Structure formats: structure tokens, C-alpha cells
Structure 1
Amino acid sequence: MKSLSKNWFIEGAIDFEHKKYVLLGYLQEINRHFDKNHLYPNLADLIFHYNNLLEFKNNKTVLQHSFPQRLSKADFEALKLTYQRMVQDDVTMNEIEHIIGYAMRKMDPAIQTGKHIYDFVESCLDIDPVGVVPLLPYNGYFTLRNGSQKTNWVYEYQITLFENADDKYRGIHISLVDTFEPNFVNTPESIKLQLIKNRKHLPNPAMYHVQSEISFPLEETLLPVAKRSLVRYISDAA
């Protein structure tokens, strides 16, 4: 995927026409991926860049959020001086603001397209618990069926809680365990019993069956949406 650096809009020559060319090339590729229903990492990357522009626009004096991470003190001081010169140069700052405004207007329709795809994929998902769910369902397994495809995937998952000063977030880590073709023998219930028998580290796991009515690209779309939907389903039920 063609990528933008974190600070593409203030790196190098501050020239609107050049930055416009760079941005439109990036968005053209993003939209090509969306045309194939490929959501990730494209949607997350696009939202990151939009929020980065918004943060710079709203917090021009917060240098830590405007320049790359992991800089040495000397590098940071050099960037700080460069930024201060920018602030004092009305022509340069006006050009940066012109670039930011244009970029945000161009990114917004692409973000909305990505969100529509995400919402549609999510609307096609059904999540059902398999057997009895333990009181703490934050470790376990889920099976994933992708439309009419014969192969089902089995993943182990672990949900963790992250906190910052403003909010709490739940994240999910998954690893592929196995695949199977569903039939009268290989049901989600029988797969759960096999997992308990063969994987002793989770003697009483939660298990969920996640199914999509329509087939989507697995790694780029269905699996990322299924993960987020499963986190919300478990969090709401807990």
C-alpha cells in the first residue's frame, strides 16, 4: 500500500501543489482497495492521518504530537527551531493550513466510504455462544465462517483492557488454531470438545461461532471486523 509519512504535510518543501499530488496518489490507492472491499490496514491508516491533521490544526504548539517519535534531544531541538520559524513565517503557516484544510476535505469522503463498508460487513455478521459461557469469557476460542466458503477457521483469543487518562479500551489478540469443514460431525460444539481435550491450558474456555452471510476478503476485511464485533459482543454481555 502506498503510504504517507506521519508528517507528510510539513516535511520537505511546503508547497501546496506538490502536497496535493502526494495526497491524491495516496487516496487513489486507498479507494482502489475500498473498491475491492479491502478495509485493513487502509481504513485505520486513513483515519490516523485525518486525526493527525486535526490534532496539528487544533494544537499547533504541542510539538510532541506534531513530529515523529523516538527523536534524540538534539533532533527534537532542531525540529523545534524549525517549527518556531514556521510559526513566525505567516506565508509558510498559511500554506500549511491550506494543505491541511484541503487534505481533510479530500480524506473525509474516503473515510465515509470505508465506514459504510465496515457497517455493511458488520451487519452481515452473526455471533452465537457455543455451549455454556464461563463467568469470565475473556479467553477462549471462536470459529469463523466466511459466507458460502467451505473452510471454517478456529482462533484462540485473549481480550485485554487498556486504560489512559480519558477512557478504557478493550483489545483482542488472536492466533489461528486450526481449520475445518463443517458437517454433521464437525460442528462448533464438537470442535469445542476437541479443543478442551487437546489444549489443556484452557480447561473451561468460552467459545463463539461467528458467521458472515456473505463472503468477504478474510484478512483484509472479515477477520478485523469480526474481532472488533466479538470484543463488543463479549463486553456487552459481561
Structure 2
Amino acid sequence: MTERITAPGDLGRRIAGRRESLGLDRERLARRAGIDPGYLAYLEETAASPGADTVGRLASALETSTQELLGGTVDLPPGRGRPAALPELEKLDSDECLRLISPGGVGRVAFNDLGGPAILPVNYVLHEGSVIFRTAFGGPLDADLRTGVKGVDFKIAFEVDRIDEANQEGWSVLVRGGLHHAATAGEQAAAAASGVQPWAGGDRELYVRIVPAEITGRRIRRGHGLPDGSPPPGDG
């Protein structure tokens, strides 16, 4: 009897989201996983309960784990797995950093407020070379980050990262620059053109722009040697 999987999260949405992040259409993913494209469409669009074997093949084709695909890690912080045997750390140039963060998503604003160092997550968009996000008037990213001097902005840090636990790889990008609140109607309109939407909802009509002054990044890749330091078979 085939074991059926009941996902604690939205399985179809997770499949589609991961597929799109890898740049795959349904036909290519279906070929990778060895399933019919029509069945893949059914899985993505309905509350289906596929067999454990199907979920396993989809997870492998999507370069992730079944636990991740089923939403079992929703309430867990990333990076809990063991590192690769020979991880390689590389520095990223600014062009690669901008490429990685250009799709937008969730980043973290690091700043000093009246209570000391603080870090807050925000939904952001990279628009015309600047990081744009929305916040609430009177919130922690408003009054506490105004210098009171025209033309002088607070210097803050903004971080974005991606962790691929299945492949034991990941990257992080750090942006440093001035945080500018859109004050005039023209600035508000220009920022609104970015289309950024906060997940938190509510009254978040204050647009904030970070103009990068410095961009750095790092990437962790799996090593290609063996644990004892020797090259893999066929090399050398």
C-alpha cells in the first residue's frame, strides 16, 4: 500500500515556489522527477496528498529535502544541518552581490536606536540601484533614524542571505549606506513605483530608501576534494 503524505504546510505552493526559484518550468521539473506534467500541475494547484515516493523524487529534483518541501521546517531557524566536509568560502564582488539580491524578498535592517543595537526584517525591492522598503510612521525605523539635519542620513547596514540546507551551501550580502525617508511627494511616488509590499500589512505608508555606499558578500560552496584533503578520483 502506498504511503500518503499529508503536508503540514501548503505543499503545492512550496513545489511551485521552489521550482520557480530554480528557473524550471513544469515540463522540466516533471522530467527531472519522473512524473507526468499534468500530475505536477495537479499537485501545485490542489490540496493533494501524493505518495511518499513522489514527494521524495520531487524533493530530489528540486534540490531540497522532503522535510523542507512539506513545510516541516517552517518554525525552525535555518542552518541546523552539518556543514559539508570541505566547505569553500569565497568573497563576492559588488556586481554579483547586486545580482543575488536583485529579485527582492526579505532582508534585515541593522541600526542603533535609543535602546541600543537592533535588527528588524523587512520586505524589500531593489529599485534603480537602491534598496526600498515600507514601514509605519512613528515606528522604530522612523523617528529614531532621523538625524534632524537636512541632507544628512543615518548610516545603517542591510543584510540578505540564502541558505540551501539540502546542498550545504549559501550566501550572504551586506549593504552599508545612508537610510533616507521619502519626504516629498516626488520621492514617495518614485519609491512607490518599486511596487514593494510588506508581508506584515497594516498602515506602512512610509517609504524608506537605502543608497548603497559599500556592498560586500560571501558564498559557501561544497568542496570538491575528499575529507583527507586529497583530490577526488580522476583529478590530477
TM-score normalized with structure 2 length: 0.23
Q: Which has the higher contact order (CA 8 A, sep 6+)?
A: 1
- The structure whose residues are more often helix, as a share, is 1
Structure with higher Rg: it is 1
